[in-house]
Chain A
Amino acid sequence: DTQMTQSPSSLPAAIGDRVTITCRASQSIRTYLNWYQQKPGRAPKLLIYGASTLQSGVPSRFSGSGSGTDFTLTIGSLQPEDFATYYCQQTYNSPYNFGQGTKLEI
């Protein structure tokens, strides 16, 4: 299995901040890395796929980068609706494991 490790587990931030969440894979996954946002009581929402491709309809303040084993999700200027939990997921090989999640908190 390819294990995914996110950091930090929780991230205090304020409106307008620029924040970065990191995700590390236990082996190279090329750019087969996705990012999801999940709010309490809601289904996960796809933000970024292929490490850096923004899903249609997702605001441009979200961006992703990385390849191989190290990846980042950056939110350019935090908005109130961005406070949520973020997960990375690798789809290079089965099982398609998720990271443990990063909770973005006010």
Chain B
Amino acid sequence: DQQVKQNSPSLSVQEGRISILNCDYTNSMFDYFLWYKKYPAEGPTFLISISSIKDKNEDGRFTVFLNKSAKHLSLHIVPSQPGDSAVYFCAAAGSQGNLIFGKGTKLSVKP
């Protein structure tokens, strides 16, 4: 039973345009959400997070939006750059602190 779902395995975007990566979750008790970025042959690196008491968090080109009523969050990258091409994982922090990850979305930004 997937508690964190990323329904799009891949996304292709033109350089300079907006990339929107989506994530849904089922457990309303999650109180913290994170996005990680992963390049091949490297471990995931933390990108941005959001607490459940907020609905938006912004860091440079990256913005995460949280819609608690819909149990949905999204990551917006504006403008997208070729170096953003990677696999993006959405994660929720469980009650014990372990991270519960989605299956990832592979983003390709074309020049």
Q: Decide if A and B are genuine partners.
A: no
A interface list, Cβ under 8 A from B: none
